Amino acid sequence: MSGQGGNIRLILGDQLTHSISSLNGIDIERDVVLMVEVSTETTYVPHHKQKIAFILSAMRHFAAELVEKGIRLDYVKLDDPENTGSFSGEVERAIKRHRASEVIVTEPGEYRVRQFMEDWQDAFGISVFIRNDTRFFSHPSEFSRWAEGKKQLRMEFFYREMRRKTGLLMDGTEPIGGQWNFDSENRKALPKGMVLPDRLRFGIDDTTRGILEMVGERFGHHPGDLEPFGWPVTRRDALAALDHFIQDCLPSFGDVQDAMKQGEGFLFHALLSPMLNVGLLRPDEVCRKAEAAYHSGHAPLNAVEGFIRQILGWREYVRGLYWLKMPDYAQRNALNAHRPLPAFYWTGDTPMNCLKQCVGDTMRNAYAHHIQRLMVLGNFALLAGIAPHEVEEWFLAVYADAFEWVELPNVHGMALFADGGIMASKPYAASGAYIDRMSDYCTDCAFSPKEKLGPKACPFNYLYWDFLARNRPVLGSNQRLAMPYRTLAVMPFERREAISEQAQAFLEAL
């Protein structure tokens, strides 16, 4: 392309929204939209093959839509021989190609990318304008104002502010149903014989097929199965996925959203987070459709509130916390955890069936639902004292919806308590009894959740008590852990010693 001295409008791979702020006011005669596939973004962690394919295919489909709208597009593919492999290198090349006078971009989701952008103006001698990302319900600056002066930053209270701000599930100034949170109604195990919905998966067109072939050749050594691939990669298909969830899954989502079932990776979960996080869906439209399902009588309040809380509450909250606390946040290690990540997180090769099932779902689908992530995979890493940065790299690599701004706080703060309680009021630590109650995983396991010690004992059982004993200096004064610490205090010395010995033998064998 020959340059005309217009602006470059940079669109990142998680900004695939036609109303993105970087496109506001575009001059389609002079401005050029730049989209780049760069190798550094595909390899800074070993991303799941489906994750790479999903993002690249969604990017190429979005690019085609821009061209259909008459927008001038400069698209650099991963296999372009001139591709420098980095955002900065490709922006510099594009500035020269188009003799650009300005670069306009929407703020990125990740801290490291923001650092690149803030260097461009001086490095390239050109004006760089970083616009707010208006696709969220709130901006990090709003979260910062809310957090100012608070000793504890609890999601529940920020969520209430977001409810008041948006009016979602509100009756004037009060929450519909008389309470803000129906989480206590959303903790049922999956009833025996409950019929699960057939999940909508999407066909593969020529663009996606070409991407799958390229990913298979170039990233064959990355983790996870590449096919069957069924993710929506267009706005149209993402909307169809949203409608499918609202119609077929949302009514039963609430009651059993914490349940797990062997061989069933999806249950009633939305599967919308990948599309939300790359921009094919907007959080406001998703929440409004769910709210409408409640008002029409299609879905009960506990299901709708629980779903909206994940987006309006957790998603907004973790983004605000991420930008408030970075970059120091990622370096915290409150529980002094340094054990290497066990190899079975990549292979699923473990006699612990719950871990085997959750890793298997992850590698097959580039997806696992929130309880699999938190209470099995995260819980084990917490109890075993796995180094936070290794756990976080794994979570970032293997899930199609994982971008650092959402992954890091959820894993670092909620799953691992590595931030020392900034995010969670206590560690999400649990023994095998929880997993047995919420799943059928224990039925086919080599270990028994009812056995506390010995060769058949579920490792979660003795790891739980060893975790509490090991971390007493940090956690002993936590009021939410007062009951288990009282139990530990009166436990016979010989039993505590046996727990410690079996836990250490198990962990050393990892």
Residue spans of the domains in the chain: they are 7-131, 140-324, 344-509
Q: For residue 296, is pLDDT > 50? A: yes
Q: Answer whether 16's CB lies under 8 Å from 58's CB.
A: yes
CA separation, residue 377 to residues 9, 212, 245, 387, 430 (Å): 40, 28, 25, 14, 12
Percent of the chain with pLDDT over 70: 99
Cα gap 213→78, rounded to integer Å? 13
Cα gap 358→360, rounded to integer Å? 5
Q: Can you tell me whether residue 151 is helix, strand or coil?
A: coil
Bridging pattern class, strands 170-171 and 127-131: unpaired
Query: Do 140-324 and 7-131 fall under one CATH topology?
Result: no
Q: What is the pLDDT of residue 152?
A: 83
The mean pLDDT value for 229-257 works out to: 97
In what order do the strands lie in the sheet containing 73-76? 73-76, 32-36, 7-10, 102-106, 127-131
Query: Among 184-188, 296-300, 373-377, 494-498, which stretch is predicted with the lowest mean pLDDT?
Result: 184-188
Give the CATH class of 344-509. mainly alpha
Element (H, E) at 286: helix 283-295
3 pLDDT band (50/70/90 cuts)?
very low
The mean pLDDT value for 251-257 works out to: 94
**Using one digit for the tens of pLDDT, what is the confidence trace for 168-205?**
999 999 999 999 999 888 889 999 989 999 999 999 99
Cα gap 212→198, rounded to integer Å? 24
Q: Can you tell me whether residue 103 is helix, strand or coil?
A: strand
Q: Can you tell me whether residue 179 is helix, strand or coil?
A: coil
Number of Cβ within 10 Å of residue 95's Cβ equals 20
**Using one digit for the tens of pLDDT, what is the confidence trace for 114-144?**
999 999 999 999 999 999 999 999 999 999 9
Q: Can you tell me whether residue 75 is helix, strand or coil?
A: strand
Bridging pattern class, strands 7-10 and 32-36: parallel
The mean pLDDT value for 461-490 works out to: 97
Mean pLDDT across the chain, nearest whole number?
96
Q: What is the pLDDT of residue 151?
A: 82
Q: Answer whether 348's CB lies under 8 Å from 359's CB.
A: yes
The mean pLDDT value for 239-244 works out to: 98
Tokens of 391: 């756990």
Q: For residue 498, is pLDDT > 60? A: yes
Q: What is the pLDDT of residue 187?
A: 86
Q: Answer whether 458's CB lies under 8 Å from 445's CB.
A: yes
CATH architecture of 140-324: Alpha Horseshoe (1.25)
The mean pLDDT value for 419-427 works out to: 94
Cα gap 258→302, rounded to integer Å? 13
Tokens of 180: 């803000």
pTM (predicted TM-score): 0.96
The runs of H, that is alpha helices, within 387-491 are: 388-398, 404-408, 432-438, 459-470, 472-475, 482-490
Q: What is the pLDDT of residue 6?
A: 84
| Superfamily of the domain at 7-131 | HUPs (3.40.50.620)
Per-residue DSSP letters for 415-444?
Answer: IS-TTSSSS-SS-----HHHHHHH-SGGGG
**Using one digit for the tens of pLDDT, what is the confidence trace for 43-101?**
999 999 999 999 999 999 999 999 999 999 999 999 999 999 999 999 999 999 999 99
Percent of the chain with pLDDT over 90: 97
Q: What is the pLDDT of residue 354?
A: 98
In the block, which residue shows the tokens 């756990």? 391
Q: Answer whether 352's CB lies under 8 Å from 385's CB.
A: no
Q: Can you tell me whether residue 267 is helix, strand or coil?
A: coil
Cα gap 288→278, rounded to integer Å? 19
Alpha-carbon dihedral 341, 345, 348, 349, rounded to 10 degrees: -10
Nearest one of 73, 136, 480 to 276, comparing CA atoms: 136
Q: Which backbone phi and psi does 128 adopt, to 5 degrees? A: -120, 120
Q: For residue 2, is pLDDT > 50? A: no
Q: What is the pLDDT of residue 1?
A: 38
Q: For residue 268, is pLDDT > 70? A: yes
With a CB cutoff of 8 Å and minimum separation 6, the contacts of 240 are: 200, 202, 232
The mean pLDDT value for 297-305 works out to: 97
Q: Answer whether 434's CB lies under 8 Å from 375's CB.
A: yes
